[in-house]
Structure 1
């Protein structure tokens, strides 16, 4: 253990894995919150039905969103250059995401303040925006990362981003956004089928099955586009010492349309991950039809995990390629924080993450059970 804590290369790899775990944790937990918001206008037709859908996530959405904070904090602490470039380069896109995410808690709190149908419908639309916009934009961001982001460093390692918001919304990035939206809609539908009763759950099953099939088809098409070189790719052509300095200007990188498949060619066993990214949504669609709600939710979570993991495996060791100056790309081994920072954060993570996971599991256990219209209309039930 002590040898591991002193090995710079191992620390960098561990934090690359941990970053992936945090992103998957956010996509799986807060993903069904976003999916429920995006589904709200389509699965609920009356105020009571909308309240049923909202109550399935109202008690846990705040805790789920903490995974996003943890992911952002991990990027800031472990990969400062990645944080600086992504949060500044994607500033306007992140601004829209933050506005959408801010609308969600405001809508939860203010929806019940007035019984006017117009008032409540307005906040329901805010919940829809708060779910659909982040689900789309997160996928758009991944699409841009796969294609490469227009940035470079000055001689004193000051990052310069030269892109625009319009450039971020390119066809291939939007295609990735639709994959993200489809899988999170299916995930939200799986959650509603698991937690809700009555018409809300029935409509969620019907919509979720279509969204799951769309996810499988779009992800498979995305694989074909990567194979055809549509997304491009970047290959590091100089050795990257695992314990080398955190300086992205000390290597050579070339644009190579087949680079995002290189790791899968080197180890064909890795192909199981994207394969599961296609199979799992198909299992989700089958689960909706067989009404195996728990298995459907697990399959949906597996699909999300495999899709996120596929991106990480295809790009490794690159974590943020540059489309204008390929040699300035950020990699796992030249963009991290210091050895001491990674070591100290890992110790803190090992100590506190199990507590967070145990508390989260306890909360979900306490809040287990389905939500019905009878629960919503009973005296003393939460307003929302």
Structure 2
């Protein structure tokens, strides 16, 4: 290999005919009949000559190609094969494009159609976002093993058992998604992590509910007109789950009836009819106040984007030193109905949006008890919104 460098000039390169021309230091230009050219670097590693393509002559300047050649000569001087080293660096760069956070987001996007409301509520992604990605999100998924997963989930494996279970299940889906993309991952990593974490000690319990006689006093304390207070008030007044309530939209309300889309009802399939919720005068007043704060069609928007979260409402109750949680108001309502009214079972269960009866029975029943529920919910609203009820 000749040691004299920089023999060629930009003008000479342009005027050369077909052939091979040395720039020095093992750098050669191979010109073709069509006028195009290819840069090739010749180096010797362990007594073996290697020819390394450096790219098209039309795509890089002479200075750029000389700098590139100098870089790979330096690699060869370390007794490393520059071709193999370049391949290694490319593989490493490719792996860095497949960080867990990117794979998780791609897996989520590919499954949106299977999720309720296209996953807008974020319940599929949030266990990953809260408990996995902060610790492992910036690591290439191919580098993540069962020990990494165990260390990420150990702090919540027993204390937040259900959340941890969801997180590891979602992570398993991400690994399978990565494998489908052709990445070299261990799809058994999550199962191995389960073995390391051991059996969960946590036993699921009922969500704490407020005794119904205490609900009026709490309801009257929700008096600052904020989104969180208004959302909790409507939650209490209607007995619906927090998911449909947080995503309530203006167009779902027609007069004194709120129609919840069937796909938003827990445990219901897409073909299930929408669920009508009668709105008491008190509920309509809450909605009137909420309209002043609405954004993007949602009556209960969050401060930044999207809608108010379950956590925001729960924290309000935590700060008030209450054991009960928002979802528990459904139990408060159901207990009140059972203890103070003679409401038929089917009507009481329909108030909470529960599916009543078997398939055949439901096929023949043509009512959702709207009028009976309207009167019942008016009585409930009178109770929780009156000072007398709070005494």
TM-score by length of structure 2 reads 0.22
Query: Which of structures 1 and 2 has the bigger CA Rg?
Result: 2
Query: Which one has a larger percent strand, Structure 1 or Structure 2?
Result: 2
TM-score by length of structure 1 reads 0.23
Query: Which one has a larger percent helix, Structure 1 or Structure 2?
Result: 1
